[in-house]
Structure 1
Amino acid sequence: MEITKHKVAGIHYTLRDNEGNVLDSSEGREPLYYLHGEGNLIPGMENGLEGKSEGDKFQLKITPEEGYGVRDNEMIQEVPISAFGGQPVKVGMQFHTNQGHVVTVTKVGLEQVTIDANHPLAGKELNFDVEVVEVRDATVEEVAHGHVHGEGGHDH
């Protein structure tokens, strides 16, 4: 069975940057299960999985445009340190904004903090080693909800 719209696929993957550093991997964990064609993965990964079958092993190189987007300098801003309510703020810390975005602290000054709302992998080429371990038909409920349920997914 091939991965097409509304099939559930289980994959193992290893993500590396262009220097070969491992950024993420399913090694030693359960496979990642997702409902194909519903935007549950970055576009380049979903496009690269289209038509693949159980047992296929392959590599994907995904551009920023098909991954987490290009870096947008307008998503970097300075805010007053007082906005953090007196708590200690350090470079690398992440916070959720009132709008639900995740921002990363990139610089801490005496009165200003620089935050970046770009995804940490924005602007980067992504290199995946992928193995398809399972492909099945999605249930009617999974299609209606737009994601996988049960094993490898979640229950409501």
Structure 2
Amino acid sequence: MSEAKLGDTVKIHYTGTLEDGTQFDSSVGNEPLEFTIGAGGIIPGFEEAVKGMNVGENKTVTIPSAQAYGEYRPEMTQEVPRSAIPADIDLHEGMVLHAQGPDGQHVSFTVKAFNDEQVTIDGNHPLAGKDLTFALELVSIS
């Protein structure tokens, strides 16, 4: 039986949970996730967990935040004037705002708090600073 290795394209079903058991994502009931190991499109710890798996194998792994979405960086939270947000946007806590950075790259921010004068935005990934547990099932290797 062949094992998943660097350069292989794999299909995998997964369910991701947080430390408290809250599920944050799952492919179960949908198409399996397809990616090429080593291509960089998946968090590093997830790729590492899939390496060495055989088709049909199941396993559960916990990926530390440093190998997932990184540590939470407080400096990525800032207050901006409410006037910097288009007036037609109906703000609510937890909503994601999208903008274009000075280099033309798209960036996303989560609204943490707001009032008539200020909006607190957070540029961290919502899962930054969290260890993630994944139940994995390798469906295919090609």
5 Å matches for 1:1-156? 1-87=2-88, 88-99=90-101, 100-136=106-142
In 1, the alpha carbon distance for the partners of 2:37 and 2:46 equals 10
In 2, the alpha carbon distance for the partners of 1:40 and 1:3 equals 16
Give, as a single letter, the amino acid of the residue that structure 1 aligns with 2:57: D
In 2, the alpha carbon distance for the partners of 1:13 and 1:85 equals 38
Unaligned residue ranges in structure 2 (runs of 5+): none
TM-score w.r.t. structure 2 length? 0.93
Structure 1 runs (4+) deviating above 6 angstroms are none
In 2, the alpha carbon distance for the partners of 1:91 and 1:32 equals 30
Could you give the per-residue CA deviations for residues 93-122 of structure 1, whole angstroms, max 9, x where no partner exists? Answer: 111121211100000022000000000000
Give, as a single letter, the amino acid of the residue that structure 1 aligns with 2:99: T
Give, as a single letter, the amino acid of the residue that structure 1 aligns with 2:138: V
Between the aligned residues of both structures, percent identity stands at: 40
Give, as a single letter, the amino acid of the residue that structure 2 aligns with 1:127: T
Could you give the per-residue CA deviations for residues 28-71 of structure 1, whole angstroms, max 9, x where no partner exists? Answer: 10110101111111011111111111011000100000000000
In 1, the alpha carbon distance for the partners of 2:120 and 2:38 equals 37
Which has the larger share of strand?
2
In 2, the alpha carbon distance for the partners of 1:93 and 1:82 equals 17
Unaligned residue ranges in structure 1 (runs of 5+): 137-156
Q: Alignment partner of 2:16: what SS?
A: strand
Q: How big is the shift at 1:79?
A: 0.5
Number of equivalent positions: 136
In 1, the alpha carbon distance for the partners of 2:115 and 2:71 equals 27
RMSD (Å), alpha carbons = 0.8
TM-score w.r.t. structure 1 length? 0.85
